[in-house]
Chains A and B, each alone.
Chain A
Amino acid sequence: MRRIESHIDTNAADYKANFAAMSERLKEFHARQHAARFERPQRDIDRLARQNKLGVRERLKLLLDPGTPFLEFSTLAACREYDGAVPGAAVVTGIGIVQGREVAIHANDASVKGGAWYPHTVKKIVRLLDVALENRLPVVHICDSAGGFLPLQHGVFPDRYLGGRVFRNQVKLSQANIPQIAIVGGHCTAGGAYVPTLSDYNIIIEGTGAIFLGGPPLVKAATGEEVSVQELGGAVMHTSVSGTGDYRAATEQHAFALAREIVSQWKRMPKTIIETAAHEEPYYDPKELYGIIPKDRKTQFDMREVLARIVDGSRFHEYQPDYGTTMICGFAHIWGFKVGILANNGVLFNDSSLKAAHFMQLCNQNRTPLVFFQNITGYMVGREYEERGIAKDGAKMLMAQGGSVVPKFTVIANASYGAGNYGMCGRAWDARTLFMWPQAEIGVMGADQAANTMADVKIRQLEREGKQLTEVEIAAIRDPVLEKFRRDVEAYTSTSELWDDGILDPADTRNALGMSISAALNAPIDDPHYGIFRL
């Protein structure tokens, strides 16, 4: 495979301006991420200390193998909900390494509202368990939750992908022979009681851990019985009387040591074999991505320059280099894993759509995972393109993409508008992981177009009513809409709503993809099969 030849001039003024703008964005991003992870009101920190509990980050440190990576999902989930008072949606999820094994981790963050389940909490946990199911990853649950957040119970409890889905997924995991362990480091009340009880193994920490369907106040209200937490569902009772708990741990440290010992008993399943090569760092510095990504989203840039800073050795074998050139297709290695890459270099035309559909079929045939780099404003519109069957060709691309049996991974590198989001494996299309870069946008169309479209509708309506609008009046209609749209398409909105698995510093993309691909290979790859292509 040949090295991509970069044409970036790191001394150029626009490179430097881009670099400065991205650095500024990343500063904000890292600050927000740090706050979501670590900054808590003193009373919450004090409460944990009083309860003799470790914070969720310390717990992860005890759980994970030292010196190994942890791919955290959706750190900024719920960042635009609940007045920002539920950082991370009160739960930490991700993929980490325990005793040399890749595991999915679901850990309540009791420093946020006592670890209560908000609607976004549930969404984040369900997503994690979906990841575990799709990739056949063992799950470690670290339970410490006050239970469902009652004022928002409608958003937590009843629907198909709400609370019940957590337990349903646990059952499906077990059914699929995927082991789970729960460490009970706080209360598991009501539905929460099923997390440890549906796990193959569970460990209860003495003094702090407890499992019950109804806590002491509820019991008292229901039957008048007065009973202490420990009597009702403490470690000693459950491990010696009810058999609900498997192991009793004297301390948090003890619990995680036990958990690690238990995980080390699990059989290592052989991973799916795909083409691999020796690891090679990118030839070009990934930090240069900061200067490549334009500070103005509307500025076009060559996605090959991006690939050159992510793939092994900056090497790329491009497929059909001279056909359908707004769609870059080709093979590369990421952390040694052979992947087929689809990256946008402009709007999708008929030829670029057909090229993408054909390339995806090649990859499926060859069991090569797919990685999508989105910078897409959509499929080309207009009479000429409709006549050429752009919708038909787009459908072929969707059929090939949606019908792919190989694992898919998506990076929303810049724009993700309209049907382009679908064709390029947006959230609805089962990418094993999907990450956004901080400046990226996602929407039916760009904020300006959307605002203009909506303002035009309003203006035309007023004109029909005979009103002649001044520039100021037009701006008064347009600007609030624009402002709302700009906010709605931002990566922070997407990540708050869990439309992605998190915002990434572009320089972290290579590792995030490596972790994702490696995890995906725990699941087998089916034989290729498709629906009907509209020819």
Chain B
Amino acid sequence: MTISKLLVANRGEIAARVLRTAKARGLATAVLRHVAEQEGPAHLIADEVVMIDGPTPVAAYLDISQIVAAARKIGANAVHPGYGFLSENAGFVAALEEAGVTFVGPTSEVIDLMGDKVRARAFVEARGFPIAPSAIEDDDPTTFVERARTLGYPLLIKPSAGGGGKGMRIVREDSTLKTEIETARREGQRYFGDGRLFVERYIERPRHIEVQVMGDGQGNVVHFWERECSIQRRFQKIIEETPSPALSPEQRLEICETAAGIARAVNYRGAGTVEFIYAQDGAFYFLEMNTRLQVEHPVTEMVTGFDLVAEQLRIAAGEGLSAAQSDIRQTGHSIELRICAEDATADFRPAIGDILLLDEPQGEGVRVDSGILDGGKVTTDFDPMLSKLIVHGADRAQAIARARNAVQNYVILGVTTNTGYLDAILAHPDFASGDVSTGFLAEQADVLTAPGEDVSTLLMAAAALSDQRLVTDVMQIPEMHRKMGGWRN
């Protein structure tokens, strides 16, 4: 099956990134745009922009029938879902199938299986892969609290239908277990329409390591090595890198082959990511499998040299994988920084505003996947992530140095971003030594948001001299009186 026209059912940086590869492959391209949405880079790249509408901008991007209709209307015979939105929605895949449109991703069955954390765990466990001890509410809600208690503290409660860290809670004391379970259930219900939970033993100072896999749906599965994503805030990844500084070559091989094995077990098609919890003692446990392209996929591309979106499109077109496992090697080191519109000094409050000036860093080993344009507007309609800054270096030290240089020269004026916070993380000695866990950001919160050198006088001078009203008011004072200053007789 040949893909002739691809609709990217997404927005922001990922839409632009997918479109670039699609265009390079010679495909006709289209992308969605909500009627109230700012123009972004994707709209400039795509051959065609399809306007969508909905009660909220997010709702429009989740509106399966509208998007399927859009694909049909413009004659797209394939849809790339990006990440988030409908990327892991089996109903969307089914609707596309019905409409005769190819979904660039796995089958709806696999999405269904991996989307249900409870079933996914059971599936993985049954095939002998390592998982953390867990209790599952579905088994028997009435005894859930009791059985959870037997796992021992600390515990991690998660919504069965969840993802992206939403609704997760750590429980350290028995006294709060019951109320936390109730709260998590309510949140699961609200976010995912599903109040089922599962609970697992929470591993102290864990690292988050994941493996990029790719299958052709014909039984061939390869991995593209791991990514370390331990720099997280409230379960949201902020900085990702590869290779992981924690793994020995033997461990690396073991964890990557485990991931490939899991993908093989479901005869995986397309790009996927198997996430693991990595304990300080070197043990690792299956966490979940994401059946889509991940936000942080570029670091893998930077060290392997493969274009993962191109691989996705090849597979969707039935062309199979372009490489055998032995062709896939890691060269150098790559780090990705998520540039978000948020105020790190004010409890990471989302920031909004007009982008008054945008100047992205350039240079050797620097890549920017951006979802914003100079002159655009940042609203709370969508996720606060504006862009991703990805760097590559010969080794980790060079990658860190390049990342710092690039993030310091990333000029986004008009909306508060986390660039200073990201730089503070990169500058932290524990990050430099690689001695981090998923709790790093919380533990070092004060250090990372500490004010730097006081430049307030410079800032006030610059702000004053660029304030036209102020300057005009001052210059309207007659020159003589200005020169006399505050003279009194």
Given A66-B486, A504-B489, verify A99-B473 contact (CB < 8 Å): yes
Q: Are B485 and A69 in contact (CB under 8 A)?
A: yes
The residue of chain A having its C-beta at the shortest distance from the C-beta of B484 within the complex is: A69
Given the complex of chains A and B, what is the CA–CA distance between A298 and B175 in angstroms?
A: 99
What B residues does A515 contact at CB under 8 A? 481, 484
Q: How far is the CB of A165 from chain B (nearest CB, A)?
A: 25
The residue of chain B having its C-beta at the shortest distance from the C-beta of A508 within the complex is: B489
B482 interface residue, CB < 8 Å from A?
Answer: yes
**B488 touches which one: A72, A279, A518 (CB < 8 A)?**
A72
Given the complex of chains A and B, what is the CA–CA distance between A508 and B489 in angstroms?
A: 6
What A residues does B479 contact at CB under 8 A? 279
Q: Are B473 and A511 in contact (CB under 8 A)?
A: no
Q: Are B487 and A69 in contact (CB under 8 A)?
A: yes
Given A68-B481, A72-B489, 10 other A-B residues pairs in contact with their CB atoms under 8 A: A66-B486, A68-B484, A99-B476, A102-B478, A102-B481, A335-B480, A502-B489, A508-B487, A511-B489, A518-B478
Interface string of B449-489 (1 = CB under 8 A from A): 00000000000000000000000010011111111111111
Given A68-B481, A279-B483, A518-B481, verify A100-B473 contact (CB < 8 Å): yes
Q: Are B488 and A68 in contact (CB under 8 A)?
A: no
Given A66-B486, A502-B489, verify A336-B480 contact (CB < 8 Å): yes
Given the complex of chains A and B, what is the CA–CA distance between A66 and B480 in angstroms?
A: 14
Given the complex of chains A and B, what is the CA–CA distance between A70 and B487 in angstroms?
A: 7
Given the complex of chains A and B, what is the CA–CA distance between A235 and B272 in angstroms?
A: 72
What B residues does A335 contact at CB under 8 A? 480
Given the complex of chains A and B, what is the CA–CA distance between A508 and B481 in angstroms?
A: 14
Given the complex of chains A and B, what is the CA–CA distance between A363 and B237 in angstroms?
A: 81
Given the complex of chains A and B, what is the CA–CA distance between A33 and B482 in angstroms?
A: 25
Given A71-B489, A72-B489, A504-B489, verify A65-B477 contact (CB < 8 Å): yes
Given the complex of chains A and B, what is the CA–CA distance between A97 and B484 in angstroms?
A: 12
A512 interface residue, CB < 8 Å from B?
Answer: yes
What A residues does B482 contact at CB under 8 A? 67-68
Q: How far is the CB of B260 from chain A (nearest CB, A)?
A: 70
Given the complex of chains A and B, what is the CA–CA distance between A98 and B12 in angstroms?
A: 50
Given A99-B473, A100-B473, verify A69-B486 contact (CB < 8 Å): yes
What B residues does A512 contact at CB under 8 A? 489
What B residues does A511 contact at CB under 8 A? 484, 487, 489
**A505 touches which one: B481, B485, B489 (CB < 8 A)?**
B489
**Chain A 63-85 interface residues, beta-carbon cutoff 8 Å to B:** 65-72
Contact sample, A vs B, 27 pairs, CB 8 Å cutoff: A65-B477, A66-B486, A67-B482, A68-B481, A68-B482, A68-B485, A69-B484, A69-B485, A69-B487, A69-B488, A70-B487, A72-B488, A72-B489, A97-B477, A99-B473, A100-B478, A279-B480, A335-B480, A336-B480, A502-B489, A508-B487, A511-B484, A512-B489, A514-B480, A514-B484, A515-B484, A518-B478
What B residues does A99 contact at CB under 8 A? 473, 476
What B residues does A97 contact at CB under 8 A? 477-478, 481
Pairs of residues from A and B, 8 with the lowest C-beta to C-beta distance, nearest first: A100-B476, A69-B487, A69-B484, A100-B477, A508-B489, A335-B480, A68-B481, A97-B481
Q: How far is the CB of A304 from chain B (nearest CB, A)?
A: 24
Q: How far is the CB of B331 from chain A (nearest CB, A)?
A: 61
Given the complex of chains A and B, what is the CA–CA distance between A158 and B352 in angstroms?
A: 67
**Chain A 305-339 interface residues, beta-carbon cutoff 8 Å to B:** 335-336
Inter-chain residue pair count (beta carbon < 8 A): 54
What B residues does A504 contact at CB under 8 A? 489
Residues of B within 8 A of A (CB): 473, 476-489
Q: How far is the CB of B472 from chain A (nearest CB, A)?
A: 9
Interface string of A259-284 (1 = CB under 8 A from B): 00000000000000000000100000
Q: How far is the CB of A433 from chain B (nearest CB, A)?
A: 11
Q: How far is the CB of B180 from chain A (nearest CB, A)?
A: 48
Q: How far is the CB of B488 from chain A (nearest CB, A)?
A: 6
Q: How far is the CB of B474 from chain A (nearest CB, A)?
A: 8
What A residues does B484 contact at CB under 8 A? 68-69, 511, 514-515
Q: How far is the CB of A66 from chain B (nearest CB, A)?
A: 7
**Chain A 326-361 interface residues, beta-carbon cutoff 8 Å to B:** 335-336
The residue of chain B having its C-beta at the shortest distance from the C-beta of A509 within the complex is: B489
What A residues does B478 contact at CB under 8 A? 97, 100, 102, 518
Q: Are B473 and A69 in contact (CB under 8 A)?
A: no
Q: Which among B476, B477, B480, B483 has the greatest number of chain A C-beta atoms within 10 A?
A: B480
Number of A positions contacting B (CB below 8 A): 24
What B residues does A502 contact at CB under 8 A? 489
Q: How far is the CB of B476 from chain A (nearest CB, A)?
A: 4
Q: How far is the CB of A137 from chain B (nearest CB, A)?
A: 13
Q: How far is the CB of A200 from chain B (nearest CB, A)?
A: 21
**A70 touches which one: B476, B480, B488 (CB < 8 A)?**
B488
Q: How far is the CB of A517 from chain B (nearest CB, A)?
A: 9
Given the complex of chains A and B, what is the CA–CA distance between A152 and B20 in angstroms?
A: 92
**B481 touches which one: A69, A72, A336 (CB < 8 A)?**
A69
**B485 touches which one: A67, A72, A102, A518 (CB < 8 A)?**
A67
Q: Are B489 and A67 in contact (CB under 8 A)?
A: no
What B residues does A72 contact at CB under 8 A? 488-489
The residue of chain A having its C-beta at the shortest distance from the C-beta of B483 within the complex is: A279
Q: How far is the CB of B385 from chain A (nearest CB, A)?
A: 42
Given A514-B480, A518-B478, A518-B480, verify A67-B473 contact (CB < 8 Å): no
What A residues does B485 contact at CB under 8 A? 67-69
Q: Are A68 and B477 in contact (CB under 8 A)?
A: yes
Given the complex of chains A and B, what is the CA–CA distance between A511 and B484 in angstroms?
A: 7
Given the complex of chains A and B, what is the CA–CA distance between A72 and B480 in angstroms?
A: 17
Q: Are A68 and B486 in contact (CB under 8 A)?
A: yes
Given the complex of chains A and B, what is the CA–CA distance between A116 and B403 in angstroms?
A: 72
Given the complex of chains A and B, what is the CA–CA distance between A67 and B487 in angstroms?
A: 8
What B residues does A69 contact at CB under 8 A? 481, 484-488
Given the complex of chains A and B, what is the CA–CA distance between A514 and B478 in angstroms?
A: 12
Given the complex of chains A and B, what is the CA–CA distance between A72 and B486 in angstroms?
A: 12
**Chain A 102-144 interface residues, beta-carbon cutoff 8 Å to B:** 102
Given the complex of chains A and B, what is the CA–CA distance between A515 and B487 in angstroms?
A: 11
The residue of chain A having its C-beta at the shortest distance from the C-beta of B477 within the complex is: A100
What B residues does A336 contact at CB under 8 A? 480
Q: How far is the CB of A207 from chain B (nearest CB, A)?
A: 30
What A residues does B477 contact at CB under 8 A? 65, 68, 97, 100
Q: How far is the CB of B78 from chain A (nearest CB, A)?
A: 62
Given the complex of chains A and B, what is the CA–CA distance between A99 and B472 in angstroms?
A: 11
The residue of chain B having its C-beta at the shortest distance from the C-beta of A100 within the complex is: B476
What A residues does B487 contact at CB under 8 A? 69-70, 508, 511
Given the complex of chains A and B, what is the CA–CA distance between A498 and B429 in angstroms?
A: 75
What B residues does A70 contact at CB under 8 A? 487-488
Given the complex of chains A and B, what is the CA–CA distance between A253 and B279 in angstroms?
A: 62
What B residues does A65 contact at CB under 8 A? 477
Given the complex of chains A and B, what is the CA–CA distance between A323 and B477 in angstroms?
A: 42
Given the complex of chains A and B, what is the CA–CA distance between A502 and B489 in angstroms?
A: 9
The residue of chain A having its C-beta at the shortest distance from the C-beta of B476 within the complex is: A100
Given the complex of chains A and B, what is the CA–CA distance between A66 and B486 in angstroms?
A: 7
Interface string of A479-520 (1 = CB under 8 A from B): 000000000000000000000001011001001101100100
The residue of chain A having its C-beta at the shortest distance from the C-beta of B486 within the complex is: A67
Given the complex of chains A and B, what is the CA–CA distance between A99 and B481 in angstroms?
A: 12
**Chain A 220-278 interface residues, beta-carbon cutoff 8 Å to B:** none
What B residues does A518 contact at CB under 8 A? 478, 480-481
Q: How far is the CB of A311 from chain B (nearest CB, A)?
A: 14
Given the complex of chains A and B, what is the CA–CA distance between A97 and B485 in angstroms?
A: 11
Given the complex of chains A and B, what is the CA–CA distance between A336 and B481 in angstroms?
A: 12
Given the complex of chains A and B, what is the CA–CA distance between A408 and B480 in angstroms?
A: 19
The residue of chain B having its C-beta at the shortest distance from the C-beta of A518 within the complex is: B480
The residue of chain B having its C-beta at the shortest distance from the C-beta of A72 within the complex is: B489
Q: How far is the CB of B367 from chain A (nearest CB, A)?
A: 50
Given the complex of chains A and B, what is the CA–CA distance between A67 and B481 in angstroms?
A: 9
The residue of chain B having its C-beta at the shortest distance from the C-beta of A517 within the complex is: B480
Given the complex of chains A and B, what is the CA–CA distance between A404 and B205 in angstroms?
A: 92
Given the complex of chains A and B, what is the CA–CA distance between A504 and B483 in angstroms?
A: 20
Q: Which among A66, A100, A335 has the greatest number of chain B C-beta atoms within 10 A?
A: A100
The residue of chain A having its C-beta at the shortest distance from the C-beta of B472 within the complex is: A100
Q: How far is the CB of A228 from chain B (nearest CB, A)?
A: 40
